[in-house]
């Protein structure tokens, strides 16, 4: 990529960020209605009451089984389903995602591993996921894309334009003074001198 192409990309990215960054608004408040700060949990809807009485252990077990059946497959299951659907072998997943083999092995084999948001974004780029697929994968890991994060907007920009190169995403993030989504290669110099 020559200097003119780089400058054009950064200019387009600045325009994208300006168009997609929300303007600050103060929340509207309706008198007499409390502001809800968090989603309802099972405790909030009375799970303690279920434990304290009234239900037989068989009924409780049936309820728990029903809840477990409603749960969707986790992050890892979705990741490998998407990889299979796209026909991407494991070695290509971690190479294109700019992850180390050891890190990818941990994702694949450690049941207790919880990836960082940056790792999920790198995997989305490496698998060439659509924006909807990326959002689903992030959701399964407990994250979301937000328009209040420049990093999220920059990654979203590259995904929307189907520019699936983690190094290019990292260089754009670096150009805006943001942390990169991968760092095991620590600011490698590219042939084109980005």
- Quick one: pLDDT at residue 80? 92
Mean pLDDT of the chain: 80
Grade residue 128 by pLDDT with cuts at 50, 70 and 90.
very high
Is the predicted pLDDT of residue 124 greater than 50, yes or no? yes
Nearest of 133, 108, 105 to residue 121 by alpha carbon: 133
Domain range spanning residue 148? 74-194
The reply to whether 33 falls in a domain is no
The reply to whether 163 falls in a domain is yes
The reply to whether 119 falls in a domain is yes
- Quick one: pLDDT at residue 45? 39
* Percentage of residues in the chain having pLDDT higher than 70: 73
The reply to whether 111 falls in a domain is yes
**Which stretches of the chain are assigned E, i.e. beta strand?**
none
**The pair of three-digit structure tokens given for residue 185, joined into one six-digit string:** 């290669």
**How many separate domains does the chain show?**
1
The reply to whether 79 falls in a domain is yes
Give the best-scoring range by mean pLDDT among 23-37, 47-61, 94-108.
Answer: 94-108
Report the run of H or E that residue 111 belongs to, with start and end.
none
Report the run of H or E that residue 142 belongs to, with start and end.
none
CA pair distance 186, 73, nearest whole angstrom: 34
Q: What is the arithmetic mean of pLDDT over 132-149?
A: 93
- Quick one: pLDDT at residue 132? 96
- Quick one: pLDDT at residue 37? 44
Q: How far is CA 67 from CA 61, 128, 141, in A?
A: 10, 33, 19
The reply to whether 82 falls in a domain is yes
pLDDT digits (tens, 9 = 90+) for 31-82: 554 444 444 444 443 455 555 556 677 777 777 766 655 566 688 989 999 9
3-state class of 112 per DSSP? Answer: coil
Q: How many CA atoms lie within 13 A of 95 on its CB side?
A: 5
pLDDT digits (tens, 9 = 90+) for 156-186: 999 999 999 999 999 999 999 999 999 855 4
**Would you say how long the chain is, in residues?**
194
Q: What is the arithmetic mean of pLDDT over 86-106?
A: 92
pTM of the predicted model as reported, rounded to 2 decimal places = 0.69
The reply to whether 57 falls in a domain is no
Which one is predicted more confidently, 186 or 140? 140
Which one is predicted more confidently, 144 or 48? 144
- Quick one: pLDDT at residue 40? 41
Q: What is the DSSP letter of 54?
A: S
Is the predicted pLDDT of residue 13 greater than 60, yes or no? yes
| Residue 37 Cα to chain centre, angstroms | 22
Cα–Cα–Cα angle for 21, 22, 27, nearest 5°?
160
**Which residues lie below 8 Å from residue 153, measured CB to CB, with a gap of 6+?**
16, 17, 20, 21, 147
Nearest of 75, 108, 72 to residue 89 by alpha carbon: 108
**The pair of three-digit structure tokens given for residue 189, joined into one six-digit string:** 């110099």
**Which residues lie below 8 Å from residue 171, measured CB to CB, with a gap of 6+?**
190, 194
Which CATH number does the domain housing residue 99 bear? 1.10.260
């Amino acid at each position: 990529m020559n200097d003119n192409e780089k400058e054009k990309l950064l200019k387009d990215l600045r325009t994208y960020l300006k168009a997609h960054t929300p303007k600050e608004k103060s929340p509207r408040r309706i008198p007499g209605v409390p502001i809800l700060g968090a989603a309802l949990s099972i405790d909030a809807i009375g799970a303690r009451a279920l434990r304290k009485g009234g239900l037989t252990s068989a009924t409780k077990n049936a309820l728990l089984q029903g809840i477990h059946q409603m749960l969707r497959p986790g992050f890892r299951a979705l990741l490998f389903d998407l990889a299979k659907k796209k026909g991407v072998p494991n070695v290509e997943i971690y190479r294109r995602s700019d992850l180390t083999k050891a890190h990818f092995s941990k994702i694949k084999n450690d049941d207790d591993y919880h990836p960082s948001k940056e790792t999920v974004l790198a995997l989305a780029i490496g698998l060439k996921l659509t924006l909807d697929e990326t959002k689903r994968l992030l959701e399964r890991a407990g994250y979301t894309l937000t328009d209040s994060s420049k990093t999220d907007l920059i990654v979203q920009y590259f995904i929307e334009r189907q520019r699936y190169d983690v190094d290019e995403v990292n260089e754009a993030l670096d150009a805006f003074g943001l942390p990169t989504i991968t760092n095991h290669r620590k600011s490698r110099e590219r042939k084109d001198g980005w």
